[in-house]
Copies of this chain bind each other. A is one copy, B any other.
Amino acid sequence: MSANSRLTIAAHALAWIGLYQRQGHEVATSEQIATSANTNPVVIRRLLGELRRAGLVESRRGAGAGWSLARELESMTLLDVYEAVEPGPLFAMHRTTPHQECVVGHGIQPALQNIYENIEETLRHELARVTLEKVLGDVLAAPRRPL
C-alpha cells in the first residue's frame, strides 16, 4: 500500500507533547519532537500545523515559542488525528471514467462507492475508540531495555 506514516508521526508528536507537559514544561519545540521522531523539524511543523487547524494543538510564536496541547489527550482519538492529516478516501475509484455503455462500467462506481463508505465508517469507528491517552499509556508500558 501507499503506506504513509503521517498518522504515526502525528501520534508520536502528540504523545511527546503530552508527556513533556506532564513533566511540567509549557511548550515543546518542533526540533525536540523531530529529534525524538528522527526526522526534520519542518516535517513536524507541517503536521502540527494540520493538527492546529483541527483544534488539537496550539502554537506560540516569538521567544519561548513552541507547541502545546489544545485539549487533554483523554479527549483526542486517533480518528481526530486521522481526519486532520489524511485527506482522501481509503480506496480510490478508477482514475478515468469507466465505459458507461458497458453494464459493469456503468454500475461499478455507485456500487463500490456505497460499499467503501460502509467500510470506511467502520474504520472511523475503530479509530475513534483509541484515545491518545491510551496511546501514551501503551508507549510508557513498553518494556525497557535491560541495562
Residues of A within 8 A of B (CB): 1-5, 7-9, 11-12, 15-16, 19, 35-39, 78, 86-100, 102-108, 110-112, 114-115, 118-119, 122-123, 126-127, 130, 134-135, 138-142, 144-145
* Contacts beyond the supplied A8-B108, A122-B122: 12 A-B pairs with Cβ under 8 Å: A1-B89, A3-B89, A16-B102, A35-B102, A37-B105, A39-B95, A103-B139, A104-B139, A106-B144, A108-B139, A115-B134, A118-B126
Majority-rule SS of A interface residues: helix
A79: min CB distance to chain B, Å:
11
Number of copies: 2
Q: Is the CB of B118 within 8 A of A138?
A: no
Q: Is the CB of A95 within 8 A of B5?
A: yes
By beta carbon, the residue of chain B nearest A78 is: B115
**Complex formed: what's the CA distance from A123 to B116 in Å?**
11
By beta carbon, the residue of chain B nearest A3 is: B92
Contacts of A142 in B (CB 8 A): 106-107, 110-111
Contacts of A104 in B (CB 8 A): 12, 15-16, 19, 36, 139
